Chain A
């Protein structure tokens, strides 16, 4: 499903970057799970897996931070998300 087609919130569509790729997002907020699914639509998280989600260029002066499972953040035009499982060394 393309998130840009999500009905009911169509008045405010913004471009966001998730893992370097552009997406259209038409809701005011985005959740941890929604960002993950944009990044990896075919790789659902299994029990015990934790992906890191980092964001920046958000509201309030370019707000940046880490989005936690179950959490939600307000979206803004050109906001940038990184979603990776950081277990390699």
Chain B
């Protein structure tokens, strides 16, 4: 018995019943074998693609967006003239498959399609009528066919955000990566929150600490009081929570020290978010020696006369960068520090780190590679790399 989520969707069920050939690739519903006419007046077959919206594992009606994408050549009428509607528009579906045209045709009266069935059959008619006038034997309904291409993404439920955004090709940049996160405190937990939503293969969490109430107040989401009562290990707690979504997460309920660095040996990228790792310098040096790119985060916040101020720092330790960056954020918290941490600042520091990571992967554009990013609360400014000090520094 099929476990396809489309079984419970009346529109796709009806399309299949009527003989349409459907498949599911890259979170798009694909209508296979749609007859159309090329500019050379040849009858051939193309494919229609529609990003699929899921709620959990239930497919939702996609008729609200009247657009659809076409995989094929410029669709033409029976004279070989382009039909109105399709416009050239590259739209990635999977790394191997892209649509080349977007078709926009609203229903004449209502302006919106009643459901996905009406939407797809309407577009199939637009494309296939010219083909049928040239060759009455062609059909868009050769018989029920169902090809659900299994994706091997590390997720519990479909990543339809990517399909909707047409970012499949970009997201390939995360594949094959094995991420280590050292420290699951306020900043590390927000880093995990973002990394777990990417296509990285695995995420290893390292923290020997206990998840208590004060941690809950600087972590993403809302911890359950029943979980807090059990005083779980931080790495195990966050692995359990984020395994609701990403399937490649492993908890290591240990602090990383100079004695167990080999635990990091499989990582392709490491986030260093441990507040007071005594061996931080040794850890960073070990990773640097092995050319394992690392991003280190840290913040310093103080009460300045009743208002908090401070700095958030992200230090990039990437292969090829000078080793001088290694020591930039070392230092010991002094005994006067009240350990002030606020979740918004933790979160911002984590997001700056994640953005730098995505720049390293060339997911985001960057003007030039930088060794650090610093946010200043008082001025509200962000500095990337060496400032524009120029002749000021003497």
Q: CA of A61 to CA of B339 in the docked complex: distance in angstroms?
A: 36
Among candidates A64, A84, A85, residue contacting B388 with C-beta atoms closer than 8 Å: A64
Stretch at the interface among B4-12, B46-54, B105-113, B181-189: B181-189
Query: Which chain A residue has the least Cβ–Cβ distance from B182?
Result: A89
Q: Which of B309, B333, B379 has the most C-beta atoms of chain A within 10 angstroms of its own C-beta? A: B379
Complex Cα distance, B383 from A86, in Å, reads: 15
Contact of A72 among B298, B313, B331, B393 (CB under 8 A): B393
Contact with B387, one of A48, A61, A66, A86 (Cβ below 8 angstroms): A66
In the complex, which range does the number of interface residues on chain B fall in? 35 or more
Residues of B close to A71: CB separation below 8 A: 393
Closest Cβ of chain A: how far from B121's Cβ, in Å?
A: 55
B337 contacts across to A, CB distance below 8 A: 85, 88
Partner of B392, one of A54, A63, A80, A86: A63
> Taking the complex as formed, is B128 at the interface, i.e. its CB lies under 8 A from any CB of chain A?
no
With an 8 A cutoff between CB atoms, is A10 at the interface? no
Please indicate the chain B residues that have their CB under 8 angstroms from the CB of A72 in the complex. Answer: 393-394
Beta-carbon contacts of A40-76 to B below 8 Å, as 1s and 0s?
0001001011111010101111011111000111100
Q: Is the CB of B298 within 8 A of A48?
A: no
Interface size of A in residues (CB-CB distance below 8 Å): 35
B305 proximity list for chain A (CB < 8 A): 20-21
Q: Is the CB of A50 within 8 A of B188?
A: no
Contact B332 A87 (CB under 8 A): yes
Interface flag for A33 (CB, 8 Å): no
Query: Is A29's beta carbon under 8 Å from chain B?
Result: yes
In the complex, the answer to whether B394 meets A29 with C-beta atoms within 8 Å is: yes
Chain A residues with CB below 8 A from B186, complex form: 89
Residues of A within 8 A of B299 (CB): 84, 86, 88-89
Q: Which residues of A contact B387 (CB under 8 A)?
A: 63-66
B333 touching A63 by the CB < 8 A rule? no
* Residues of chain A contacted by B297 (CB below 8 angstroms): 89
Q: Which residues of A contact B327 (CB under 8 A)?
A: 50
User: Contacts A52-B311, A66-B383; is A86 near B389 (CB within 8 Å)?
Assistant: no
* Given A19-B304, A20-B305, A52-B311, CB of A87 within 8 Å of CB of B331: yes
Interface flags, B363-394, vs A, CB<8A=1, else 0: 00000000000101111010100111111111
* Contacting residue for A88 out of B300, B330, B386, B394, CB 8 A: B300
Q: Which residue of B lies closest to A79 (CB)?
A: B392
Complex formed: what's the CA distance from A48 to B307 in Å?
28
Q: Which of B302, B311, B394 has the largest count of A CB atoms less than 10 A from its CB?
A: B311
| Contacting pair B332 A84 (CB below 8 A) | no
- Chain A residues near B333 (CB-CB < 8 A): 85, 87-88
Distance between Cα atoms of A46 and B332 in the complex (Å) = 9
The residues in A between 8 and 51 inclusive whose CB is less than 8 angstroms from any CB of B are 17, 19-21, 29, 43, 46, 48-51
Please determine whether A59 and B392 come into contact, CB atoms closer than 8 angstroms.
Answer: yes
* Contact residues in A for B302 (Cβ distance below 8 Å): 19, 84
Within the complex, the shortest CB–CB distance from B301 to chain A, in Å, comes to: 7
A48 CA to B278 CA in the complex, in Å?
11
Given contacts A74-B392, A82-B309, A82-B379, contact A87 B386 (CB under 8 A): no
Interface residues of B (CB under 8 A from A): 183, 185-188, 273-276, 297-302, 304-305, 307, 309-313, 327-334, 336-337, 339-341, 346, 349, 374, 376-379, 381, 383, 386-394
14 A–B contacts from the bound complex (CB under 8 Å)? A19-B304, A43-B334, A49-B332, A50-B331, A64-B383, A65-B386, A67-B393, A82-B310, A84-B310, A86-B298, A86-B329, A87-B331, A88-B340, A89-B349
Known: A74-B394, A89-B187. 12 other contacts (CB 8 A): A19-B378, A49-B332, A51-B300, A52-B313, A65-B392, A66-B386, A66-B389, A72-B394, A82-B376, A86-B298, A87-B298, A89-B188
